[in-house]
């Protein structure tokens, strides 16, 4: 096949873009390394799987796979509306919350405009900003010596906001650190923003938080029209394979987001499963409970191994080691254990480890003990 420098045809933001690298699947690991019975604790998936109610709902859709899904997602929007006590006109559905984060960049950013986020914020924020040619302004995170090590520094974020700022991205809890912000402090931050700045509060992991200290940003929408809250069904609800997320916002913002949203970005299985999962409060409580137990198990085990632990309100732990994380990760792969090195965030001595079942947690701790020895 003939070659051609197609990169020269691409827009500048895409030419220089480094795409998001997802966690390695177990099937790929087993092909590459010749291991069997591998486990994956890299992508913050729910070790309990999906809600049984969601699975049953999927079965009910199988006879209609030849039909396009409801482009508006009416029934799922009704369920989300009831959960958050918000008008359906405030909802934008996404193919995972990643989708709505990209919509926000497409609608509100362009060359000459700016997005603000923290040093160790979710990797999609800089990717979405760069792909539309906007400027990323990155606030220094809290230092390693801080009780909320590597977490968001609201003062540092605020100091970067200027006349060209359009979006501020804040994950609460944050990925990859697991750190969190007090809800009242975050609400005060949102209230302090000028009207031309939209604050995006990414609550992908909020269902795992054990304390109500974080608050529920969706309850602030009536008072703050420049607030957008994003949620996902990929984490606690266990529907990562179906890719369903949503944004809650002022109806004027939602209208703009829905103009760029592809009509069928959420499939029928996802729409039905997500609606059923919202009603399965028992499953969420079990997920939160096993996560809390696993948090203790992994934290104690990692501390015994000499690792430093960053406080986490999510379903993973960021652990620091004396050795380079890339080396530890390679050795763990040969043990059949997939975790997440976070060198792409500048954390070269840290691994992000998803909390799994008790057996999975024991296995990753045993494997770490062997590779550290």
Report percent pLDDT > 70 for the chain: 100
pLDDT confidence band for 16 (50 / 70 / 90): confident
What pLDDT does residue 23 have? 72
What pLDDT does residue 126 have? 95
> Is residue 4 in some structural domain?
no
Cβ pair 361, 301 in contact under 8 A: yes
Residue where a domain stops, chosen among 221, 254, 279: 279
Lowest mean pLDDT among 19-28, 208-217, 315-324, 339-348: 19-28
Residue where a domain stops, chosen among 279, 298, 320: 279
Interval 231-276: pLDDT, tens: 999 999 999 999 999 999 999 999 999 999 999 999 999 999 999 9
What pLDDT does residue 27 have? 83
> Is residue 1 in some structural domain?
no
What pLDDT does residue 193 have? 97
DSSP H/E element including 268: helix 268-278
Pull the structure tokens for residue 281: 């409060």
197 in the same domain as 334: no
255 in the same domain as 234: yes
What pLDDT does residue 198 have? 98
> Is residue 2 in some structural domain?
no
163 in the same domain as 197: yes
> Is residue 359 in some structural domain?
yes
pLDDT confidence band for 369 (50 / 70 / 90): very high
181 in the same domain as 88: yes
- Decide if pLDDT at 29 tops 80: no
> Is residue 220 in some structural domain?
yes
Mean pLDDT of 5-15: 77
Cβ pair 166, 173 in contact under 8 A: no
- Decide if pLDDT at 282 tops 90: yes
Domain span including residue 20: 9-49+282-372
Arithmetic mean of pLDDT over the chain: 94
> Is residue 109 in some structural domain?
yes
> Is residue 178 in some structural domain?
yes
Assign residue 139 the CATH number of its domain.
3.40.640.10
210 in the same domain as 296: no
What pLDDT does residue 365 have? 97
Straight-line distance from the first to the last Cα atom of the chain, in angstroms, rounded to the nearest whole number: 50
Determine the Cα–Cα distance for residues 221 and 90; give it in Å rounded to an integer.
9
243 in the same domain as 187: yes
Instruction: Give me the residue label for tokens 């003062």.
Output: 155
The whole model's pTM is what? 0.93
What pLDDT does residue 5 have? 76
Residue where a domain stops, chosen among 225, 251, 279: 279
292 in the same domain as 172: no
Q: Please, what sign has the CA dihedral across residues 131, 70, 246, 49?
A: negative
Cβ pair 369, 302 in contact under 8 A: no
pLDDT confidence band for 26 (50 / 70 / 90): confident
258 in the same domain as 181: yes
296 in the same domain as 152: no
Assign residue 41 the CATH number of its domain.
3.90.1150.10
**Higher local confidence (pLDDT), 17 or 291:** 291
Cβ pair 350, 217 in contact under 8 A: no
* Domains identified in the chain, total number: 2
What pLDDT does residue 13 have? 73
208 in the same domain as 100: yes
Pull the structure tokens for residue 39: 């486990």
309 in the same domain as 206: no
Interval 167-222: pLDDT, tens: 999 999 999 999 999 999 999 999 999 999 999 999 999 999 988 889 999 999 99
> Is residue 3 in some structural domain?
no
- Pairing relation of β-strands 91-94 and 245-249? antiparallel
314 in the same domain as 290: yes
- Decide if pLDDT at 18 tops 80: no
């Amino acid at each position: 096949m003939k070659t051609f420098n197609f990169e020269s045809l691409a827009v500048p933001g895409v030419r220089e873009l480094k795409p998001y690298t997802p966690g390695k699947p177990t099937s790929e690991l087993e092909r590459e390394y010749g291991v069997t019975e591998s486990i994956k604790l890299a992508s913050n998936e729910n070790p309990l799987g999906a809600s049984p109610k969601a699975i049953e709902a999927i079965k009910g859709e199988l006879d209609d796979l030849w039909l396009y899904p409801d482009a508006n997602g009416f029934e799922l929007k009704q369920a989300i509306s009831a959960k958050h006590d918000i008008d359906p006109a405030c909802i934008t559905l996404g193919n995972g919350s990643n989708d709505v984060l990209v919509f926000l960049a497409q609608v509100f950013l362009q060359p000459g405009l700016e997005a603000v986020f923290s040093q160790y914020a979710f990797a999609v924020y800089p990717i979405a900003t760069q792909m539309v040619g906007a400027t990323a302004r990155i606030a220094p995170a809290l230092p390693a010596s801080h009780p909320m090590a590597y977490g968001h520094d609201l003062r540092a974020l605020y100091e970067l906001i200027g006349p060209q700022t359009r979006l501020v991205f804040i994950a609460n809890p944050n990925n990859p650190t697991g750190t969190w912000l007090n809800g009242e402090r975050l609400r005060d931050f949102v209230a302090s923003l000028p009207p031309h700045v939209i604050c995006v509060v990414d609550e992908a992991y909020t269902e795992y938080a054990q304390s109500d200290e974080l608050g529920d940003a969706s309850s602030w929408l009536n008072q703050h029209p420049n607030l957008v809250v994003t949620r996902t069904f990929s984490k606690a609800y266990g529907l990562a394979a179906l890719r369903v997320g949503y944004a809650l916002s002022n109806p004027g913002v939602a209208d703009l987001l829905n103009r760029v949203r592809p009509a069928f970005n959420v499939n029928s299985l996802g729409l039905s499963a997500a609606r059923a999962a919202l009603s399965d409060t028992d499953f969420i409580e079990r997920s939160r409970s096993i996560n809390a137990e696993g948090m203790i198990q992994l934290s104690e085990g990692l501390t015994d191994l000499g690792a430093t632990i960053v406080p986490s309100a999510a379903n993973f732990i960021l652990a620091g080691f004396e050795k380079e994380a890339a080396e530890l990760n390679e050795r763990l792969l040969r043990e059949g254990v997939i975790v997440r090195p976070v060198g792409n965030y500048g954390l070269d001595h840290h691994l992000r480890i998803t909390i799994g079942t008790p057996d999975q947690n024991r296995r990753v701790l045993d494997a770490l003990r062997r590779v550290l020895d």
